Structure 1
Amino acid sequence: MTTKPPRDIAAYPFRTHTETRFQDLDPLGHLNNVAIAALFENGRVRFNQSLGLTHAPGTRWLIARVEIDYVAEGFFPEAVEIASGIGRVGNSSWQIVSAAFQEKGCVATSVTTLVLTNKDGSLPMDDAMRAVLAANMVEGSAEG
């Protein structure tokens, strides 16, 4: 089950400011879908860094799914605020829920599902990792 991302910036525990670029525009003059995906990637990386999580040698986090909903047109040269937090937390997977905001409000939302793995497959999270994720939940989300 996917967490529905809130369109209220106050629901998110983390925010990062990202400049848009002229090259992010499509022929209609708004931010294109590839640019929006890159803005979410930048926000997700910064959010992950803020969590301070590390993984044991031989383990890794893999992205299993990325969903993006385009809510409204985004424009250059206005900067974008990417707000992120944790959505659903499972045994070996978790969701990073994000929303992109410009002055007029939410322009897109994203849910990324990550899985903790090693060469043999998925691994259960330890209690320390689960605690960090739980401390950074998006308002209204719950562990599942």
Structure 2
Amino acid sequence: MSSRSRPESWRLDAASYPVREAFQTRFQDMDINGHLNNVAFAALFESGRVLMNRAVRPMDDRPANERTMVAAVEINYLAEGNFPDPVEIATGIGRIGTSSWTIVQAMFQNGRAIATCDSVIVCRTDGQAMPLRREMVAELESNLVSAG
């Protein structure tokens, strides 16, 4: 692993994230070597990300013409994961921009960090990037990570 992909120490502490949820791994998540495969990592992070987005933006509270989309996802694999042990996905908001925000996450298994994930989410209204609504910014701010 290069020094560029080494996460900051706060990223490896589940207490840094405001939301933590356990997810069960599945037999089908294993690769040929008996470890969690990269698709399983992505799907588990997605589940945590979706729960965060639904909490920040309740589906029935948003304007009909407002949409969000994932613009970028970066996963850093730190250690192997194993079935059947569950994982804990720790999730929070890392950055709030004008029309986007970054969800930062870490995956823990048996008390150790095995991966981190950063996802940039863009808010679009009528097909164009628009400034985030004040209410959404307040919800995002209430879910910021504590970066040490």
Give distance in 1, aligned partners of 2:133 and 2:54.
19
Give distance in 1, aligned partners of 2:72 and 2:22.
24
1:49 aligns with 2:54: yes
Give distance in 1, aligned partners of 2:14 and 2:111.
12
Query: Number of residue pairs matched?
Result: 139
What does the per-residue CA deviation read over 1:105-124, in whole Å, with 9 as the maximum and x for residues that have no partner? 00110000001102341010
One-letter amino acid of the counterpart of residue 62, structure 1: M
Give distance in 1, aligned partners of 2:56 and 2:99.
17
Residue ranges of structure 2 left out of the alignment (5+ in a row): 1-6
What does the per-residue CA deviation read over 1:54-79, in whole Å, with 9 as the maximum and x for residues that have no partner? 42111100110011000100000100
Q: Tell whether the 8 Å contact from 2:93 to 2:141 is kept in structure 1 after alignment.
A: yes
1:137 aligns with 2:115: no
Number of the residue aligned with 2:125: 118
Q: Tell whether the 8 Å contact from 1:87 to 1:96 is kept in structure 2 after alignment.
A: yes
1:91 aligns with 2:98: yes
Q: Tell whether the 8 Å contact from 1:74 to 1:102 is kept in structure 2 after alignment.
A: yes
Q: C-alpha displacement at 1:104, in angstroms?
A: 4.1
The percent identity for this pair of structures is: 46
Give distance in 2, aligned partners of 1:76 and 1:68.
19
Q: C-alpha displacement at 1:52, in angstroms?
A: 4.7
Q: C-alpha displacement at 1:51, in angstroms?
A: 2.8
Q: C-alpha displacement at 1:10, in angstroms?
A: 0.5
Q: C-alpha displacement at 1:50, in angstroms?
A: 2.8
Q: C-alpha displacement at 1:46, in angstroms?
A: 1.5
Give distance in 1, aligned partners of 2:20 and 2:97.
24
Number of the residue aligned with 1:127: 134
Q: Secondary structure of 1:63's partner?
A: strand
Give distance in 2, aligned partners of 1:93 and 1:80.
28
Give distance in 1, aligned partners of 2:21 and 2:49.
9
Which structure shows the bigger proportion of residues in helix conformation?
2
The counterpart of 2:18, out of the listed 1, 13, 20, is 13
Q: Secondary structure of 1:107's partner?
A: strand
The CA RMSD over aligned residues, in Å, is 1.8
